[in-house]
Chain A
Amino acid sequence: MEYLLHIAVMVCLYSILATSFNLLIGFAGLFALSQAAFYGLGAYTTAILLVDVGLPFPLPLIASAVVGAGVGTLLALPALRIVGDYLVVVTLAFQIILVEVAMNWTGLTGGTDGISGVPNYQVFGLSLDSPTSFLPVALLVAALCFWIAWRLATSPFGRSLRAMRENESAAVSVGKNVVAMKLVVFAFSAGLAAVAGSLFARYFNYVGADSFLIEETIYILAMVILGGAGNLVGSVLGAAILVILPELLKFIALPVDIADKSRLVLYGLVMVAILIYRPQGLLGERKTQARTRASSGPGGGEAAAVPLRASAGAAARGRTIEGRGLAKQFGGIVAISSLDIRLEPGTITGLIGPNGAGKTTAFNLLTGFLKPTGGEVLLDGSSTGALKPYELARAGVARSFQDLRLFTKMTVLENVLVALPGQVGDSVFSVYFRPAAVRRDEAANVRRAREVLAFVGLEEQLHETAENLSYAEEKLLVVARLLATGADVLLFDEPLSGLDGATLQEIFPVMRRLAESGKTVCIIEHNLDVIKELCSVVYYLDEGHAMAVGRPEELMADPELAERYFR
Chain B
Amino acid sequence: MKTLLRPLAAAVMSVALVGGLAAGASAQDNPKSYKIGAILAMSGKANWYGKVMSQAIEQAVDEINAAGGIDGVPLEAVIEDHKSGVAKEGVAAMNRLIDLHDVQAVLTSFSPPTLAIAPIADEKGIFLLNGGGVSSALIGASKYLFHNRSLASDLGRAAATRAHELGAKRMAQLAWKSDAGESVIKAVEPYWTGTLGGEIVATESMEVGATNIDTQMAKIRASKPDVLGLWLFSPDPGLAIKRAREFGMKMPIIGIEYNDQIAKLAGKYAAGYEYTSDYFTPAEGGWAKKFADGYEKRYGEQPEFYAANYYEGTYVIAELMRRAKAKGIPIKGDKLAELLRENPVFDSVYGGKMTFQDNGVAKKRVALFKVDDAGKGVFQHYIEVK
* Contact between chains at A282 and B88 (CB < 8 Å): no
B8: which of A112, A116, A244 is its contact (CB, 8 Å)? Answer: A244
Within 8 A of B (CB), among A1-36: 1-4, 6-7, 10
Nearest to A203 among chain B residues (CB) is B91
Q: Which residues of chain A come closer than 8 Å to B358, judged between CB atoms?
A: none
Q: Which residues of chain A come closer than 8 Å to B177, judged between CB atoms?
A: 103, 112
B112: which of A1, A210, A233 is its contact (CB, 8 Å)? Answer: A210
Nearest to B179 among chain A residues (CB) is A112
* Contact between chains at A206 and B79 (CB < 8 Å): no
Please, what's the 1-or-0 string for B50-77, where 1 marks a CB less than 8 Å from any CB in chain A?
1100110010000000000000000000
| Alpha-carbon gap, A256 to B299, bound state (A) | 13
Q: Which residues of chain A come closer than 8 Å to B91, judged between CB atoms?
A: 6, 204
| Alpha-carbon gap, A10 to B86, bound state (A) | 14
Q: Which residues of chain A come closer than 8 Å to B223, judged between CB atoms?
A: none
Asked if A370 is at the interface of the complex by the 8 Å CB criterion, the answer is: no
Asked if A334 is at the interface of the complex by the 8 Å CB criterion, the answer is: no
10 other contacts beyond A4-B19, A110-B137, A116-B118, with CB at 8 A cut-off? A6-B95, A106-B182, A112-B182, A114-B179, A206-B87, A208-B115, A210-B86, A244-B11, A256-B54, A261-B43
* Contact between chains at A251 and B18 (CB < 8 Å): yes
Q: Which residues of chain A come closer than 8 Å to B362, judged between CB atoms?
A: none
* Contact between chains at A116 and B54 (CB < 8 Å): no
* Contact between chains at B15 and A247 (CB < 8 Å): yes
* Contact between chains at A205 and B119 (CB < 8 Å): yes
Q: Which residues of chain B come closer than 8 Å to A257, judged between CB atoms?
A: 42, 51, 54-55
Within 8 A of A (CB), among B123-151: 123, 135, 137, 141
Closest chain-B Cβ to A256's Cβ sits at a distance in Å of 5
Asked if A543 is at the interface of the complex by the 8 Å CB criterion, the answer is: no
Asked if B183 is at the interface of the complex by the 8 Å CB criterion, the answer is: yes
Asked if A375 is at the interface of the complex by the 8 Å CB criterion, the answer is: no
Closest chain-A Cβ to B96's Cβ sits at a distance in Å of 5
* Contact between chains at B87 and A2 (CB < 8 Å): no
* Contact between chains at A112 and B178 (CB < 8 Å): yes
A4: which of B12, B88, B115 is its contact (CB, 8 Å)? Answer: B12
| Alpha-carbon gap, A129 to B123, bound state (A) | 8
* Contact between chains at B19 and A1 (CB < 8 Å): yes
Asked if B366 is at the interface of the complex by the 8 Å CB criterion, the answer is: no
Asked if B374 is at the interface of the complex by the 8 Å CB criterion, the answer is: no
Asked if A318 is at the interface of the complex by the 8 Å CB criterion, the answer is: no
Asked if A317 is at the interface of the complex by the 8 Å CB criterion, the answer is: no
* Contact between chains at A282 and B4 (CB < 8 Å): yes
Nearest to A233 among chain B residues (CB) is B1
* Contact between chains at B119 and A112 (CB < 8 Å): no
Q: Which residues of chain B come closer than 8 Å to A211, judged between CB atoms?
A: 86-88, 112
Closest chain-A Cβ to B319's Cβ sits at a distance in Å of 23
A10: which of B1, B87, B92, B111 is its contact (CB, 8 Å)? Answer: B92
| Alpha-carbon gap, A129 to B122, bound state (A) | 10
* Contact between chains at A208 and B87 (CB < 8 Å): yes
Asked if A527 is at the interface of the complex by the 8 Å CB criterion, the answer is: no
Please, what's the 1-or-0 string for A222-233, where 1 marks a CB less than 8 Å from any CB in chain B?
000000000001
Nearest to A131 among chain B residues (CB) is B95
* Contact between chains at A260 and B95 (CB < 8 Å): no
Most buried by B among A2, A7, A200, A264: A2
| Alpha-carbon gap, A110 to B181, bound state (A) | 14
Asked if B214 is at the interface of the complex by the 8 Å CB criterion, the answer is: no
Within 8 A of B (CB), among A111-135: 111-114, 116-117, 129-131
